Amino acid sequence: MYLADAAWPDLESYFESESIALVPLGSTEQHGPHLPEGTDHLIAEAFAREAADQTGFLRTPPVRIGVSPHHQQFPGTMSVDPPAFRDYVESFTRSLTTHGIDRVIYVNAHGGNVDHLREVGRRVREDGTAFAVEWMWDESIPEQVNDAFEHNGPHGGPKETALIQHLHPDLVHEDRLEDARDTGLVEVSQDVGRVHGARTFYDSIENSENGVFGDQTEATAEIGAQLFDAASDELVALAEWLDEQPFEDLMPRDHV
């Protein structure tokens, strides 16, 4: 069920029997010369929609702008200050709880949001309001993602390219894949941007001229479909597991 399309009597019926909400979150930021700036929120919305369709759980409207200051040098990137982002997410999460929701899955597709969503989850859990957990698709199937590509990348690489080729092929500039590879950073290692063990970079442009990593030419829509199905299965399993947990077991343990 999609909250924004439903009438309140139907939502009232849902809240009487269910207590889970799927909240998709992403970003609007550069993803290289070949992918749309909406890549992350498009991916998050697709996963939330698929999981909601399979389980019948509630899906909320998406959060399409996240914490992205590290991509600000590229035209079009939009970003929210971290405190404002955290407060906003916490506020609408608490709003959901007034209707009976006490379990929230943040279906997240943007790395810059992770720490802030974890912080919000801690806040609402510590006062016993709700259990909110952050989920990222590629972290749910890490071995399959890595095995799919010889040169994977954390941003704008073949994994995101393959998903958008599958989900929104009309938004992929297929004629720019080689340029994305050749003007970006193909080989990604733990040593990139580090000096004597310290991370000396803050922005993606410092490590990649075009802001993306990996070999985008390795991506195909077929691989994207396989990754989407596998990660969707994990999200569905997470939602069903969360639904089965006694609420008290999800809350903080008593002080020793």
Tokens describing residue 71: 């991509």
**pLDDT score at 63:** 98
> Residue 255 — very low, low, confident or very high, per pLDDT cuts 50/70/90?
confident
- For the residues of 157-196, what is the DSSP string, one character each? SHHHHHHHHHH-GGG--GGGHHHHHHTSB----TTTTEET
Query: How many CB atoms sit inside 10 A of residue 178's CB?
Result: 13
Q: Is the pLDDT of residue 18 over 90?
A: yes
> Residue 190 — very low, low, confident or very high, per pLDDT cuts 50/70/90?
confident
Could you tell me if residue 229 is inside a domain? yes
Could you tell me if residue 182 is inside a domain? yes
**pLDDT score at 192:** 87
Could you tell me if residue 256 is inside a domain? no
Could you tell me if residue 234 is inside a domain? yes
Query: Which among 1, 103, 119 has a CA at the least distance from the CA of 51?
Result: 1
**pLDDT score at 167:** 98
CA distances in angstroms from 248 to 134, 212, 243, 251, listed in the order given: 19, 43, 13, 5
**pLDDT score at 256:** 85
Q: Which of 54-63, 88-97, 199-208 has the lowest mean pLDDT?
A: 199-208
> Residue 130 — very low, low, confident or very high, per pLDDT cuts 50/70/90?
very high
Residues contacting residue 231 through CB under 8 Å, at least 6 positions apart: 47, 137, 138, 140, 141
Q: Is the pLDDT of residue 15 over 90?
A: yes
Could you tell me if residue 153 is inside a domain? yes
Could you tell me if residue 209 is inside a domain? yes
For the stretch 226-241, pLDDT in tens is 999 999 999 999 999 9
Determine the distance from the C-alpha atom of residue 187 to the mean position of all C-alpha atoms in its chain, rounded to a whole number.
Answer: 24
**pLDDT score at 59:** 98
> What is the domain range of residue 173?
3-250
Could you tell me if residue 12 is inside a domain? yes
Q: What pTM was estimated for this model as a whole?
A: 0.96
For the stretch 71-120, pLDDT in tens is 999 999 999 999 999 999 999 999 999 999 999 999 999 999 999 999 99
Determine the distance from the C-alpha atom of residue 147 to the mean position of all C-alpha atoms in its chain, rounded to a whole number.
Answer: 21
**pLDDT score at 224:** 98
Tokens describing residue 128: 């016993």
Q: Which of 50-64, 66-80, 194-208, 227-241 has the lowest mean pLDDT?
A: 194-208
Could you tell me if residue 255 is inside a domain? no
**pLDDT score at 248:** 96
CATH number at residue 37: 3.40.50.10310
- CB–CB of 33/173 below 8 Å? yes
Count: domains in the chain: 1
